[in-house]
Amino acid sequence: MLEKETGSPPPSAGTAVVGPAEATAPVAAHRQARGPRRGRARRRPLAERLAPYVLVAPAVLVIAGLRLYPLALGVNFSFTGDGDRNGQAVGWDNYAILFDDPLFTESMRNVGLLVLLLPVAVLIPGLLATFIYLRVPGHRVYRSVYFFPAVLSPVIIGAIFNLLLAFDGPANALLGAVGLGPVDWLGDPGVAIYAVVAVHVWATFGMALVVFLAGFATLDASLIDAARVDGASLPRVIRHVIVPGLSRTIQFVVVTTMIGMLTSMFGLIYVMTGGGPEGSTYLPEYYIWFQQGQMSRPALASAASTVLFCVMLAVGLLQLAILRRSGRED
């Protein structure tokens, strides 16, 4: 309690902590009788007591005002009407319209597809990270190369792949060389969504790879060495040593990859397909933007936002539950 003598109490002695020591201090007791504020805090100048609040104020105001409040506002807004019925309460009408809209149901189907493809998007960087960790020849270079597309804007990646996946572009030329194709990558409604998702995975697997490598750095290398000395094959080492050791990293990658798929493909869709052909590459985020910006139906867009939020919440909680359970079994 050196600070008492110096008259400059530590931050930990803020107003929230009033221990028995203060009650016995005569000065503090005197102050306590005079004012509503108790204890040592009185001895600190007002500016010092307010300092923590001043420091967090800008961040709290911005986050509360421009993120948490809009969430409530949006949910509320989704129960009002658009156009003629602007501002009127319309109950669940927007949600009914939403689920009648083939574009929206298509976008939800695509969300389902993304969830199904999620294991692939996690497995690829996971395996590559394992090989890099096991020092495959050239492992030093791979990390830098694979990570690079992850820092490029989806807009730039989309523009580049517009060239590569053009009907007369390199992708089809490559297929033609082995006697296949051509495929209308971005023009065929049955193909376009897979093309866009594949480009997204190509662009972002480096991000997950780097996270996996950071996880490997925390892994006990002697465990793997011991398993190898005992003659365990690589698949067995992965199954019994690496996966259990990285459960927390895997959890992180699964959740962030899912969030990435649901919320950061706008740029790709906007540049590569514009939601087409025939609305086959719509995702909820694109639908929200389309209804808000192009169709001037913000209340309907808000309803779609609310649905997206619920989907993300549900998927996130489900994944956590599954991963927890499988983690316990190991």
Residues from 129 through 188 that contact another protein (CB under 8 A): 131, 134-138, 141-142, 144-156, 159-164, 168-170, 173
Min dist CB 291 to another protein, Å, is 9
321 lines the binding site for another protein (CB under 8 A): no
Task: Record the tokens describing residue 166, joined without a space.
Answer: 């053009």
Nearer to another protein, 28 or 237 (CB): 237
How many residues touch another protein under the rule CB under 8 A: the total is 106
Min dist CB 230 to another protein, Å, is 13
235 lines the binding site for another protein (CB under 8 A): no
Which stretches of 165-297 are DSSP H helices?
170-177, 192-217, 221-229, 234-237, 243-245, 247-263, 266-272, 284-289
For another protein, the binding residue among 21, 29, 63, 314 (CB under 8 A) is 63
Nearer to another protein, 192 or 288 (CB): 288
Which segment (28-36, 90-98, 113-121, 304-312) binds another protein by CB under 8 A? 304-312
For another protein, the binding residue among 42, 77, 121, 245 (CB under 8 A) is 77
Min dist CB 63 to another protein, Å, is 5
Terminal-residue alpha carbon distance, the chain: 48
Please give the residues from 17 up to 46 whose contact with another protein meets the rule CB under 8 A: 17
CB distance 121 to 201 below 8 Å:
yes
Min dist CB 273 to another protein, Å, is 12
For another protein, the binding residue among 88, 293, 296, 326 (CB under 8 A) is 293
Phi, psi of 188 (to 5 degrees): -95, 120
288 lines the binding site for another protein (CB under 8 A): yes
Min dist CB 101 to another protein, Å, is 16
86 lines the binding site for another protein (CB under 8 A): no
16 lines the binding site for another protein (CB under 8 A): yes
**Which amino acid, residue 126?**
G
Burial class from Cβ neighbours inside 10 Å (0-12, 13-18, 19+) for residue 329 reads exposed
3-state per-residue secondary structure call for 18-66: CCHHHHHCHHHHHHHHHCCCCHHHHHCCHHHHHHHHHHHHHHHHHHHHH
Instruction: Choose among 20, 11, 18, 4: nearest CA to 49.
Output: 11
Which residues share a beta bridge with 154? none
Nearer to another protein, 30 or 37 (CB): 37
221 lines the binding site for another protein (CB under 8 A): yes
CB distance 165 to 192 below 8 Å:
no
Nearer to another protein, 28 or 271 (CB): 271
275 lines the binding site for another protein (CB under 8 A): no
323 lines the binding site for another protein (CB under 8 A): no
Task: Record the tokens describing residue 155, joined without a space.
Answer: 């807009």
Whole-angstrom distance, CA of residue 184 vs CA of residue 141: 34
